[in-house]
Structure 1
Amino acid sequence: MPARVLVVDDVLANVKLLEARLTAEYFEVVTAMSGQEALDVCARAQCDIVLLDIMMPGMDGFEVCRRLKADPATHHIPIVIITALDQPSDRVKGLEAGADDFLTKPVSDIALLARVRSLTRLKMMTDELRLRAVSGHQAGMAAVATDTILDNGLNGRILIVDDRAASTERIQTALRDTHTVDVESSPQEALFRAAETEYDLMIVSLGFTDFDALRLCSQARSLERTRNLPLLLIAEQEDTARVLRGLDLGVNDYLVRPIDRNELVARVMTQVRRKRYADRLRTNVQQSMELALTDSLTGLYNRRYMETHLETLIEKASQTERPLALVLIDIDHFKPINDTYGHDAGDEVLRQFSTRLQSSVRGIDLACRYGGEEFVVVMPDADLSVARAVGERLRRNIAAEQFPVSKGVKKIDVTISVGIAMRREGDAADTILKRADEALYQAKRDGRNRVVSDAA
C-alpha cells in the first residue's frame, strides 16, 4: 500500500504542483486548503506524512504543527514544513513547534522525495509498533502518548563522531548544557561505543578524509544493538548527493554547515524525543508479550504458554529418546486458607509458593501456574528418580517453614500434594497431564503432603 501524503497549502497552484510531483512517484495524495481542514484529515487517520505550508489565513502552519504534536492521536505523524520563509529563526520555530523537517522553497524534487520516503518509512515502522502495543496492552498506550507529548527531548546521551576538534567543540558547546555528550574521532571505535552504550542519538560528520562516514551509518543500521539509534549527519554544502544517499540508508536527519546553534539544538531534541517514543512503544510491546505468557500474580509462565511449549518439549524428547517428567502440584486445603484469612492472604501464599517453587527446581525446568492453586513443572532430561527428588525437595521446602500473611502478622502452615508422570512412547501432552493428575489425586487420597508417581 503506497504512503498517503497530506499536502496543506492555501494556494491551489502550490497544491497541484506538489500533488503532481508525488503522484508521479506513486504516492497517494490528500489535499487540504486550510489548517483546520488539515487537522480534520489527520484526526481521521487519513495520512502518513504532512507537507505543510506556513503562511495561511486563519490558522498558520506553526499552530497546525503544534496542535498535531499535542494530540495523542496524531503526535506520531511526521510533518515537513515547506515554505518560502528562509531565515534560521523560521526553521527553529518550525522545529520547536514539532516539525520533523523544514524545507525552503524552491525545493528540488530529489530532496523532497528523499525526505518523504525517509519519514514515511519511519512512520510505517512506528505504526507497526503502535499496532502491536495497542492490541496487546491498551492500558499502557495512554501513558506512552502522555509521556511522549510531555517529553522535552532534553537530557539525552549523544555520541559525536568527528575527527576535527574545532567542529566537535562547537557541537559540544551547543549541547553540553542540556545533554550528556561523548566524542569519538575513530568511526570504527564509534560503532563499538554505540553498541555498548545506550545512546539517544549519534551525530556523524561526513567530513572524514580517509573514511566513508556513510559506511558507519550502514553498519549501524545492520547491527541489532544500533539498528534503532537515530543518526544525524553533519554535511557540507556540496554534500547533497551523499546526504540523499544517507537518507536512503536510514539516516534520520542532517544539518548543513555552517551550523546554526539553535537549529542543531532543535533537531537534536526532535530525534531524542522520537527515540524515546519508539523505546516506550517497544517496552509496551514487550510488556504485552510478557502479560500474554506469564501469570500476573506469581510471575510464572501461564497455562497457555505451558501447553504450547509442552508439545514441543515432548516432540524433542521423543526425537532424542530422552526422558521427560511432568510434575503436577496442588496446594493442600487452599480454600480454607482463603475462607479463614481472606483472598489477599491466599494471594500472598500463591506468590510465596511460586518463589519457593522456582528455587527448588532445576534451571532447565519449565515452572508454570496451571490454574488456581495448581502448578506444573515440566522437566526435560529427568528420569523418575530425579523428578521424585525434586518433588520431595519442594514438598519439604514448603512444609518446613510457615508462610507469613497479613503483612507478616500471621503465619500459617502450608503443605502440597505432588503427582508425577513420565513420558511414554506415543504420549501426547494431554495424556501425560492426565496421568500426572491421577497421581496427584492418589496423593490426596493417601492423606496429602506427599509425592506420588504414576509408575508407583
Structure 2
Amino acid sequence: MTARILVVDDIRTNIKVLEAKLTSEYYEVITAGSGPEALDAAHGQKPDLILLDVMMPGMDGFEVCRRLKADPDTAYIPVIMVTALGDPEDRVQGLSAGADDFLTKPVDDIAMFARVRSLLRVKLMLDELRMRERTSASLGVISPPVPGLDEDYSDASILLVEDNPRDQLRLQRMIEGQFRIEIIADGAEALGRARQKEYDSVVVSLGLQTPDGLRLCSQFRTTEETRNVPILLLVGPDDQKQLVKGLEIGVTDYVVRPIDRNEFIARLRAQVRRKRYQDRLRDHYQQSMEMAVTDPLTSLYNRRYMASHLSTLLSQSASQHGTAVLIMDLDHFKRINDTHGHPVGDEVLREIGNRIVRNIRGIDMACRYGGEEFVVLMPDTDIDSAEVVASRLLHAIGDKPVTVKAAVGELLVTCSIGCTSSSDKDTADTLLRRADKALYEAKSDGRNRIVYRRSDESGA
C-alpha cells in the first residue's frame, strides 16, 4: 500500500538516507528538521506515519510525540521513534509519550519496512472506522472522544501463551497487579479460549512448540472471533527474521528478551489502549447508527448511508487504487416471492446478506441497495483485485442452496454482478451508474455472471 511518511531529523544526511530508502519503495516522503517543523507538517500535510528522531535540539522527539498524541487532529498518526539510545528506560519514556514503535540506529531496512507496513495496516483500519464516524456525524451523530494516555487498565484481560514453566512464572510476576492474566501452555487451547472470551491483548512466545509461535499468531489473525485482538510477540535478540515475518502476518507489537518489566507493561498498555479505542469506535458507531443507516431486514447498511459514505471515500481517499464498487442483483427473485410468499423471500435476502458479509474484508462495506439488489464498497481496491472478490461472492451465493424455515426446504439462488473501480474524475453517481450498467449487461448476457466495466471504456 502507498502512504505519506513524515521523516523528522535535525541532521540533513539522516533525512536524505531515509528519504531515499522510502522513496524506493514508492512511499511519498515529506521532511522536517526540528520538533516545531514536525508539528506544523503533521497538521498541514496529514502524514500516514511519522519517523521521528529522538535526539534533537530544542524540542526532543519525546516532547514532539507527546504533543502529537495530545492533539485530536494528530493523535491517530502512528509514530516510530528512531534513536541511537538502547536503554529500555528510553523506550519506556517513548511508549509513555505515545510512540507506537522504535528503530535503533543504524536502521535495518528489513526491520524498518516490516514495522512501517504493520503500522500502516492498523492505521488503514482505524481510518476506515473514523471515516464512518465522520459520515455518522454528517447525519447528526457525535463522534466519541479521543482516547487518553492515562486510562486505568488494571481490569484489562491478558492471555499469555507460553509453554516454558520458568518464563510463565517470571512473566506472571511482571504483570500481576497491572492487568488480569491467564496463562495457557498449549496454543490450540489458547485459540479455543480466545474464541469464547474476549481479551484485551494476547502475548505469544515465539518459542512456543504446539503449534509454533508464528503459526499460532497466523491462526489468531485468520479466525473471525480473534482477528482484531492485539498480539504482542516475545522474541529473542537473534530472532529478527521471525519477527519480520510476524509483523507481516499481523503481530501488532513485540518485546525482546531479556524482558524489561517496565517496557513490557508500557507496551501492553499501549496495545490495550488501542484495542479499547477500536472497540469504542465500533460500538459507538453500531449503536448510534443502527436505526438510522441500516436495513431492518438484513441488518446491512441502507442505500442512504452507502451513498453518503461513497462520497466521503471518493473525496478523502489518497489511494492510487481507488474505490471499487460491486452491484449485485438476485436472479429471478420475483419468482420466489410469487411462488413461496414474501416471508420466504425475506429469509433468502437475510441469508444472502450474511453470505456477502462473510466473504468481504473488514474495511469493505455491504449494503442493501433496494429490493433484491446489494452493493459492496471496497476502499483502496483496483478492478483487478475487485474481480477476485466478485468471483468469490458469485460462488458463495450460487454454489450452495439457501435453507429456509418454511416447508420449502432449500432454494438455489444465483446473482448477477456489475463491477467497476473509481478514477480521479468519478463522483458517487457516476461510479454507481457505471456499475449499474455493468450489472445490466450481466443480466442481459444470461445472468449468474459478472461484467467488469473500467472507467476508460466507452459509455462509462
TMscore range, shorter length: 0.5 to 0.7
Report SS of the residue matched to 2:74. coil
CA contact 1:153–1:272 (8 Å) conserved in 2:
yes
Report SS of the residue matched to 1:55. coil
Find the aligned partners of 1:324 and 1:195 in 2 and give their Cα distance. 36
Are residues 131 and 301 of structure 1, via their aligned partners in 2, closer, same or farther at CA, if it must alter by over 3 Å? closer
Further displaced range: 112-121 or 135-144: 135-144
Are residues 151 and 141 of structure 1, via their aligned partners in 2, closer, same or farther at CA, if it must alter by over 3 Å? farther
Find the aligned partners of 1:303 and 1:248 in 2 and give their Cα distance. 35
1:284-328 C-alpha deviation (Å, 9 max, x unpaired): 331354032479xxxx999989xxxxx99x956744613449xxx
**Counterpart residue identity of residue 28, structure 2:** E
Q: Which residue of 1 aligns with 2:26?
A: 26
CA contact 2:34–2:59 (8 Å) conserved in 1:
yes
Find the aligned partners of 1:44 and 1:153 in 2 and give their Cα distance. 33
CA contact 1:115–1:247 (8 Å) conserved in 2:
yes
**Counterpart residue identity of residue 106, structure 1:** P
CA contact 2:153–2:178 (8 Å) conserved in 1:
no
Are residues 1:321 and 2:322 paired? Answer: no
Larger radius of gyration: 1
**Counterpart residue identity of residue 60, structure 2:** D
**Counterpart residue identity of residue 251, structure 2:** V
Find the aligned partners of 1:294 and 1:117 in 2 and give their Cα distance. 33
Find the aligned partners of 2:341 and 2:272 in 1 and give their Cα distance. 52
**Counterpart residue identity of residue 144, structure 1:** P
1:411-443 C-alpha deviation (Å, 9 max, x unpaired): xxxxxxxxxxxxxxxxxxxxxxxxxxxxxxxxx
* Structure 1: gaps (5+ residues): 306-310, 326-379, 382-456
1:197-247 C-alpha deviation (Å, 9 max, x unpaired): 110100000112453211111111111110100001001122111110000
CA drift of 1:45 comes to 4.8
**Counterpart residue identity of residue 88, structure 1:** P
Further displaced range: 207-216 or 169-178: 207-216
CA contact 2:136–2:142 (8 Å) conserved in 1:
no
Report SS of the residue matched to 1:237. coil
Find the aligned partners of 1:51 and 1:223 in 2 and give their Cα distance. 32
Find the aligned partners of 2:119 and 2:59 in 1 and give their Cα distance. 25
Find the aligned partners of 2:161 and 2:32 in 1 and give their Cα distance. 41
Calculate the TM-score normalised by the size of structure 1. 0.65
CA contact 2:188–2:211 (8 Å) conserved in 1:
no
Q: Which residue of 2 aligns with 1:410?
A: none
Report SS of the residue matched to 1:232. strand
Query: Superposed, which structure 2 residues align to 1:98-137 within 5 Å?
Result: 98-137=98-137
CA contact 1:140–1:284 (8 Å) conserved in 2:
no
Q: Which residue of 2 aligns with 1:242?
A: 242
Q: How many residues align?
A: 319
Q: Which residue of 2 aligns with 1:203?
A: 203
Are residues 219 and 294 of structure 1, via their aligned partners in 2, closer, same or farther at CA, if it must alter by over 3 Å? closer
CA contact 1:235–1:255 (8 Å) conserved in 2:
yes
Q: Which residue of 2 aligns with 1:280?
A: 280
Query: Superposed, which structure 2 residues align to 1:34-433 within 5 Å?
Result: 34-137=34-137, 142-145=143-146, 147-148=147-148, 151-209=151-209, 211-293=211-293, 315=333, 318-319=336-337, 321-324=339-342
1:125-148 C-alpha deviation (Å, 9 max, x unpaired): 110111012212466654332x44
Find the aligned partners of 1:288 and 1:111 in 2 and give their Cα distance. 41
1:309-358 C-alpha deviation (Å, 9 max, x unpaired): xx99x956744613449xxxxxxxxxxxxxxxxxxxxxxxxxxxxxxxxx
**Counterpart residue identity of residue 143, structure 1:** P
CA contact 2:187–2:210 (8 Å) conserved in 1:
no
Report SS of the residue matched to 1:59. coil
**Counterpart residue identity of residue 116, structure 2:** V
Higher normalized helix content (fraction of residues): 1
CA contact 1:19–1:29 (8 Å) conserved in 2:
yes
CA contact 1:133–1:288 (8 Å) conserved in 2:
no
Q: Which residue of 1 aligns with 2:371?
A: none
Are residues 303 and 131 of structure 1, via their aligned partners in 2, closer, same or farther at CA, if it must alter by over 3 Å? closer
Find the aligned partners of 1:140 and 1:72 in 2 and give their Cα distance. 18
Find the aligned partners of 1:117 and 1:51 in 2 and give their Cα distance. 13
Find the aligned partners of 1:122 and 1:209 in 2 and give their Cα distance. 28
Find the aligned partners of 2:289 and 2:119 in 1 and give their Cα distance. 28
**Counterpart residue identity of residue 115, structure 2:** R
Report SS of the residue matched to 1:52. strand
Find the aligned partners of 1:112 and 1:222 in 2 and give their Cα distance. 25
Are residues 243 and 322 of structure 1, via their aligned partners in 2, closer, same or farther at CA, if it must alter by over 3 Å? same
Find the aligned partners of 2:279 and 2:232 in 1 and give their Cα distance. 18
1:141-165 C-alpha deviation (Å, 9 max, x unpaired): 54332x4455354431100000011
Are residues 317 and 167 of structure 1, via their aligned partners in 2, closer, same or farther at CA, if it must alter by over 3 Å? same
Are residues 193 and 66 of structure 1, via their aligned partners in 2, closer, same or farther at CA, if it must alter by over 3 Å? same
CA drift of 1:282 comes to 1.2
CA drift of 1:167 comes to 0.8
Calculate the TM-score normalised by the size of structure 2. 0.64
* Structure 2: gaps (5+ residues): 305-328, 344-404, 407-460
Find the aligned partners of 2:283 and 2:88 in 1 and give their Cα distance. 37
Q: Which residue of 2 aligns with 1:370?
A: none
CA contact 1:78–1:119 (8 Å) conserved in 2:
yes
CA drift of 1:194 comes to 0.9
State percent identity of aligned pairs.
Answer: 51
**Counterpart residue identity of residue 321, structure 1:** T
CA drift of 1:261 comes to 0.5
Report SS of the residue matched to 2:144. helix
